[in-house]
Structure 1
Amino acid sequence: MNSISNGAEDLSAPGRTRWLIGGLLGTGAFVNYVDRVNLSIAAQPLAHALNLDPSQLGIVFSSFLWTYALLQIPIGAFIDKVGVKWVMRIATVMWGVATFMTAAAGGLGLLIVARLILGVAETPMIPAAWKATGYWFPNSERGMCTSLLDGAAKLSNVIGIPAMAYVVNRWGWQAAFHLTGIVSVGYAVLFWALYRNPSEMRSRGLLRAAEHEFILEGGAQTERASENYRPTKISYLLTQRKTWGLALGYASYTYTYYVLLTWLPGFLAKQLGLNVLASGMYTTIPWIVAVIAEFVIGGWLVDQLIMRGKEATQVRRAVLVGSMVLSLAVVGAAFATSLQMALVFLSLGAAGLAITAPTASSIVALIAPQGSVAALGGIVNCIANLIGLSAPIVTGFVAQKTGSFSAAFFISGAVVVLGILSYIFLLGPIERIESAACSGIQ
């Protein structure tokens, strides 16, 4: 413990390479999510151009998630076997290809195909980032690191949404996908050039020995653990109560997040009468509040409390449950009679969701058996997105049938309550799951 404490006190001495890698991963998350939110902004003019009704639009919104969710477990296992670098190199190239295909779609069928391919392309991002985080960051910095990753994704809503709204308003819906396609190709070049695992960076003289030692002594997982990988670990992980507690809790966050991610501009436009540009601009307000809350509470405050001696499990569980309770504020949007009232409830709800995300994400690397971070991350993300993919469809169907988004917000609240119960009663203490070999299961 003394070496970890001393490393934390002399943080300037080891170096900052790990934060450059964190920034690279965060940039990837930003690009990743801009590729997704562009559709929510382009939705109304796209629907008009292709003659899509709200139910069909809901299917288009969710089609990305069909492949994205179903491939999480096999891709997570594949990343544990092959490694982060090459899987992500191929994936980043595919992001740009799929985004350009969306711009070329001339009907519902081709649009769905393009989104399915984008789902395949973006599947590795989260489990790969969680695994890379486990390699690159000590336990005492996991809160801020995962906040950087998830906060960058939510910055796509702060920066990407108004940018896409301007582009769509000025040049049409297809221009939004041309722009994000170019950005995706640019990131692919950046990732290919910069990302390496710690040991490779160390061998090339790009990572100082002091920083590498600080990372390892702080509880980071070693890359050698992947050499002992066994495919049966997936089935073993699926039998673990902690896996389901984390996955179902994260699923409740994902469902509500996808409601806001896909339908928030549409809610402001349809229910409150804003045009495309105005709805895009006002949509950024809840996400600005969310990003600030995420970095301050989900990142900085969590790490500070743990480094100052507070029991880590209690801190993370309190933040998880408290932030999920705060996210119930989205239900208040059902009663909003003005833009100002709607933005208050949506901002509080988005802040709660944003604080939840890095805390839950950091738990993956903390409880996964050695060498299985991506596999556990894939399971968690698969279950979360299988449930989350219903959010755009359910919301679109409810909005079409009732002419209002009120019932959709009530459904989101009910899902959040189930997530709170999962974190309280299923997840338990935040400690590493015993490996299959240690438990006698082969």
Structure 2
Amino acid sequence: MTITTGKAIPKRRWAIGVLLGIGILINYFDRINISVAGPQLTEAFKLSPAELGVLFSAFFWPYALLQVPAGMLLDRYGVTRIGRWGAFLWGLASAITAAASGFGGVFVARAMLGVAEAPAFPVGSKATGYWFPRKERALATAIFDAAAKFSNVIGVPLVAFVVVKLGWRWGFGVTAILSFAYFLAFYFIYRDPSQDTKLSQAERDYIVQGGATPEGQTQVGVVNMLGYLLTKAKVWGLTIGFAAYGYSFYLFLTWLPGYLVKTMHMDILKSAEFAAIPWAVATATDLVVGGWLIDHLISRGNNETRVRKTVLVVGMLFGLAVFGATQTVDPVWAIMWISIALGGLAAAAPVGWSLPSLIAPRGGVGTVGGIMNFINNLMGVVAPIVTGVIVGATNSFTNAFAVAGVVLVVGIVSFVFVMGPIEAIPDRD
């Protein structure tokens, strides 16, 4: 059922979508600053490539382990409360990182940041389900997912400039200031649709009748919901497939500046400029293909499962272009291959993040998102360490990129043969 009056629907939901996107943008400034500061940290603390990889992974250990508990808390206490606390705590953790006094201090502070940011993406996914009808879900999801990529376009050069001019500590200090500013914005602006006094009745009807995720808690209980979801092949197909995407994403997120410095012999500022190119491509494909194109095709009557899974699989196939980067030492060609790979992965990512709100039973969106993002972010632990070990042993990124390609193949198989149709899992009695 849809609204058929000729009146224009207000756009309050898109203001909320942009707010969520800004949050993820700043959230990722907090994550990428350590990869930009990596060369200075290596010099300051005399780190080996493997040790730097461990430092890169410090954020992801607690971040990954807390995804399922964070999703369960989100389903229990709601987007507004968890979103506020998360934004405040990640600003505090960034400030502590800036004051750390050694390798151990930076490691602990980054682990604290992982705890604070654990609910960030599940909050975005659940809020998008509340605020958008199904036919707008892809673009709405792409807004906050593209922000993760766009953070590298503007965040890497910004942090690189600050690090070069003021030192690595200010690279973390600036992101702490931005994080506290976002906390204030979220506190005063975000409400769930049923509590938002600026949401018109016409727009609320449009959202609800368009298939928005119903607000409210599951009647099953969060622990029982978790046990129920873990028995579903659809959840595991989504989880394994998205983890394969995560391996390549986190490899580039943590190691791309270091790859350009080490393999292409660039300084920090030049590597930041080159690294921004593939992330700019990823931002564009995320919004245009993973967002607008999917919604456009579905609105024209195309089968929803076929459209979403086609973009998902084709995008990950483009991710295999990472193999091309293993065959060149020319920075222009290397960036071209990496841009193709990241562009394809970015087109697939909004599909992955829209799926929890599309397949979860009532009250289970946060838990499905938590399960998916838990395994996905284990790749944030594995990818930096495996890459660091391979680079340290071979003095080359060739085999590290090849491993990423193999993992992508596993993910494609999981999406195609394990996940099945994109439809809601039945509610548990």
TM more than 0.5: yes
Q: Which residue of 2 aligns with 1:93?
A: 88
Moved more, 19-28 or 99-108: 99-108
Deviation at 1:337, TM superposition (A): 2.0
Which residue identity lines up with residue 268 of structure 1 in the other structure? Answer: L
CA deviations over 1:331-353 (Å, ceiling 9, x no partner): 21111220111011000001011
Q: Which residue of 1 aligns with 2:406?
A: 414
Q: What is the rounded CA distance, in whole Å, between the counterparts of 1:345 and 1:106 in structure 2?
A: 38
Which residue identity lines up with residue 269 of structure 1 in the other structure? Answer: V
Contact map agreement 2:64 2:378 (CA 8 A) in 1: yes
CA deviations over 1:144-175 (Å, ceiling 9, x no partner): 00110101111100000011111111111111
Q: Which residue of 2 aligns with 1:158?
A: 153
RMSD between aligned residues: 1.2
Secondary structure, aligned partner of 1:231: helix
Q: Which residue of 1 aligns with 2:111?
A: 116
Secondary structure, aligned partner of 1:310: coil
The reply to whether residue 20 of structure 1 matches residue 3 of structure 2 is no
Gaps of 5+ in 2: none
The reply to whether residue 427 of structure 1 matches residue 409 of structure 2 is no
Q: Which residue of 1 aligns with 2:71?
A: 76
Q: What is the rounded CA distance, in whole Å, between the counterparts of 2:74 and 2:216 in structure 1?
A: 14
Q: What is the rounded CA distance, in whole Å, between the counterparts of 2:101 and 2:328 in structure 1?
A: 37
Q: Which residue of 2 aligns with 1:45?
A: 40
Contact map agreement 2:247 2:380 (CA 8 A) in 1: yes
Q: What is the rounded CA distance, in whole Å, between the counterparts of 2:129 and 2:207 in structure 1?
A: 10
The reply to whether residue 175 of structure 1 matches residue 175 of structure 2 is no
The reply to whether residue 366 of structure 1 matches residue 361 of structure 2 is no
Residue identity over aligned pairs, in percent, reads 46
Q: What is the rounded CA distance, in whole Å, between the counterparts of 2:34 and 2:216 in structure 1?
A: 41
The reply to whether residue 197 of structure 1 matches residue 189 of structure 2 is no
Deviation at 1:188, TM superposition (A): 0.7
Which residue identity lines up with residue 422 of structure 2 in the other structure? Answer: I
Deviation at 1:436, TM superposition (A): 1.9
Q: Which residue of 2 aligns with 1:247?
A: 239
How many pairs were matched up? 429
Which residue identity lines up with residue 356 of structure 1 in the other structure? Answer: A
Matches within 5 A, 1:326-405: 326-405=318-397
Q: What is the rounded CA distance, in whole Å, between the counterparts of 1:228 and 1:251 in structure 2?
A: 28
The counterpart of 1:304, out of the listed 296, 301, 308, is 296
Deviation at 1:110, TM superposition (A): 0.9
Deviation at 1:224, TM superposition (A): 2.9
Deviation at 1:363, TM superposition (A): 1.2
Q: What is the rounded CA distance, in whole Å, between the counterparts of 2:223 and 2:281 in structure 1?
A: 42
Gaps of 5+ in 1: 438-442
Contact map agreement 2:94 2:172 (CA 8 A) in 1: yes
Contact map agreement 1:162 1:277 (CA 8 A) in 2: yes
Contact map agreement 1:265 1:280 (CA 8 A) in 2: yes
Deviation at 1:387, TM superposition (A): 3.1
Q: What is the rounded CA distance, in whole Å, between the counterparts of 2:62 and 2:216 in structure 1?
A: 30
CA deviations over 1:9-45 (Å, ceiling 9, x no partner): x5x7221111111111000000111100011100001
Q: Which residue of 1 aligns with 2:97?
A: 102
Q: Which residue of 2 aligns with 1:67?
A: 62
Deviation at 1:231, TM superposition (A): 2.4
Q: What is the rounded CA distance, in whole Å, between the counterparts of 2:381 and 2:298 in structure 1?
A: 34
Q: What is the rounded CA distance, in whole Å, between the counterparts of 2:401 and 2:63 in structure 1?
A: 24
CA deviations over 1:299-337 (Å, ceiling 9, x no partner): 111000000000000001111110000011012111122
Deviation at 1:225, TM superposition (A): 4.6
TM-score between the two structures when normalised by the length of structure 1:
0.95
Secondary structure, aligned partner of 2:89: helix
Which residue identity lines up with residue 78 of structure 1 in the other structure? Answer: L
Deviation at 1:101, TM superposition (A): 1.2
Q: What is the rounded CA distance, in whole Å, between the counterparts of 1:335 and 1:18 in structure 2?
A: 46
The counterpart of 2:204, out of the listed 206, 209, 212, is 212
Deviation at 1:229, TM superposition (A): 4.1
Q: What is the rounded CA distance, in whole Å, between the counterparts of 2:357 and 2:180 in structure 1?
A: 29
